[in-house]
């Protein structure tokens, strides 16, 4: 029951959730959705603005950290347990992208993309599982992309990272299902977010336009992907294990 409104029956009442990449876009929408459904949320981002985004929300505790580091993974899980007593759900959402042909890409740029979407995902999953396994319950949802399976020129590091995300999802799912923990991923299509804003001023507009290539003829809003994340984390998805659930407007099923 929500102590402020007396509301019953919210899907994640009493659950404790960590969401990475939560300062904007899909991560912010996901954190807010879980909180609205009764969860206590730790919202992680390297951007200090994450503290401003959730200021005054009694259900969301911001955490500023670099998702690609082992220290952040350990500290954010410790924070969830310290503040709320347990961890039920992890959403690995943080991501980055560089639009460059491989011959023009630096090693630092390559490593940055892989460190966030692959290494950071592994580290956060590992630490979360240490907290979940003793309780014999939990869920991890990784936010992937149609780039888990498909690609186009100029983004080699991104599909490499998202392909790794898909395989980490499948492998860890098999390792921990015996403990009552389900791991799945969302294969997101184009979403109107700030993903491209680090290198182009029209990033949101570009994503909105690129989304028109999908059969649905538009990009998604962040909450549409957040809804799929929440479903996969919920008991309604109790028989879904190791899946990459495509939510891409049909982009992955059409020949361009």
Residue 36 is encoded by which pair of tokens?
Answer: 């609205």
In this prediction, what percent of the chain has a pLDDT beyond 70? 94
Q: State which residues form the domain around 110.
A: 16-248
DSSP string, 38-87: T-EEEEEESSTHHHHHTTT-TTEEEEE--TTSHHHHHHHHHHHHHHHS--
Residues in the chain: 256
d(CA 66, CA 74) in angstroms, rounded, equals 11
**240 within some domain:** yes
Active site residue 99: no
Residue 202 is encoded by which pair of tokens?
Answer: 């029209």
d(CA 210, CA 195) in angstroms, rounded, equals 13
pTM listed for this prediction:
0.92
**8 within some domain:** no
User: Is residue 214 very low, low, confident or very high in pLDDT (cuts 50, 70, 90)?
Assistant: confident
State whether the Cα torsion 56-197-184-67 is positive or negative. Answer: negative
**254 within some domain:** no
Task: Assess whether pLDDT exceeds 90 at residue 202.
Answer: no
**4 within some domain:** no
Number of domains in the chain: 1
Exposure of 71 by Cβ count < 10 A (0-12 exposed, 13-18 middle, 19+ buried)? exposed
| CA neighbours closer than 13 Å in the CB half-sphere of residue 28 | 17
**253 within some domain:** no
Q: Which of the residues 54, 146, 158, 206 is marked catalytic?
A: 158
Return the pLDDT at 3.
36
Q: Per residue in 123-182, pLDDT tens?
A: 999 999 999 999 999 999 999 999 999 998 999 999 999 999 999 999 999 999 999 999
**123 within some domain:** yes
Looking at residue 65, which CATH number applies to its domain?
A: 3.40.50.720
**96 within some domain:** yes
**183 within some domain:** yes
């Amino acid at each position: 029951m929500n102590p402020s409104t007396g509301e019953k029956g919210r899907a994640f009442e009493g659950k404790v959730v960590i969401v990475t990449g939560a300062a904007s876009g899909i991560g912010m929408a996901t954190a807010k959705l879980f909180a609205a459904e009764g969860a206590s949320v730790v919202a992680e981002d390297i951007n200090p603005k994450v503290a401003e985004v959730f200021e005054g929300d009694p259900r969301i505790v911001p955490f500023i950290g670099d998702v690609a580091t082992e220290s952040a993974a350990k500290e954010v899980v410790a924070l969830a347990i310290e503040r709320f007593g347990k961890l039920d759900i992890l959403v690995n959402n943080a991501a980055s992208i560089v639009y460059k042909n491989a011959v023009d890409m630096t090693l630092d740029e390559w490593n940055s993309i892989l460190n966030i979407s692959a290494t950071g995902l592994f580290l956060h999953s590992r630490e979360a599982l240490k907290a979940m396994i003793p309780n014999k319950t939990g869920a991890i949802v990784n936010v992937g992309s149609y780039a888990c399976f498909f690609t186009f020129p100029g983004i080699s590091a991104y599909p490499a990272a998202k392909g790794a995300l898909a395989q980490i999802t499948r492998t860890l799912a098999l390792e921990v299902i015996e403990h009552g923990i389900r791991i799945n991923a969302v294969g997101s299509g184009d979403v109107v977010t700030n993903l491209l804003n680090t290198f182009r001023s029209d990033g949101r507009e570009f994503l909105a336009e690129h989304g028109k290539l999908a059969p649905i003829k538009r990009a998604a809003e962040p909450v549409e992907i957040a809804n799929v994340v929440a479903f996969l984390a919920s008991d309604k998805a109790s028989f879904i294990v190791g899946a990459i659930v495509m939510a891409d407007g049909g982009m992955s099923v059409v020949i361009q």
